[in-house]
Amino acid sequence: SAEPSKRVVVVEGFLLFAHERIRRHFNHCLLLTISVDTCFFRRQTTKWVPAEYFNKILWPEYVRNCLPIVDCSWLFILNGEESEESILAKVQVESLLLISHSHLSLPSPA
């Protein structure tokens, strides 16, 4: 009999880790970590917020909501301060390892 097909779904957003009902469906997790200073700088370039709001609410919530990720059966932590090229290369290598160990297949190129 044919094996059931396996699906890969990629979701983005650290707040997803805070919801156990969602998190329990994750078999594999990837977390980009950054320093508080980098996070504040990036936040200010996308949507300005007062420093006090960032320091008292946004950053503590980021830290608190990333803690449940330890429930994930496969965790890959990346330094979000590295270059995009370096991060993408590491994600590619880890994705290929994941696929080879879980009998998933990549779609054929169009």
pLDDT 10s digits, 37-63: 999 999 999 999 999 999 999 999 888
Distance separating alpha carbons of residues 32 and 81, to the nearest angstrom: 9
Distance separating alpha carbons of residues 28 and 47, to the nearest angstrom: 30
Distance separating alpha carbons of residues 6 and 99, to the nearest angstrom: 11
- Tokens 């190129």, located at residue: 109
* Residue partners of 49: CB distance under 8 A and separation at least 6: 43, 58
Nearest to 92 by CA among 76, 109, 81: 76
**H runs (alpha helix) in the chain:** 20-23, 36-46, 51-53, 59-66, 84-102
Segment 57-80, tens digit of pLDDT? 999 988 888 766 666 667 788 899
Instruction: Write down the pTM of the prediction.
Output: 0.66
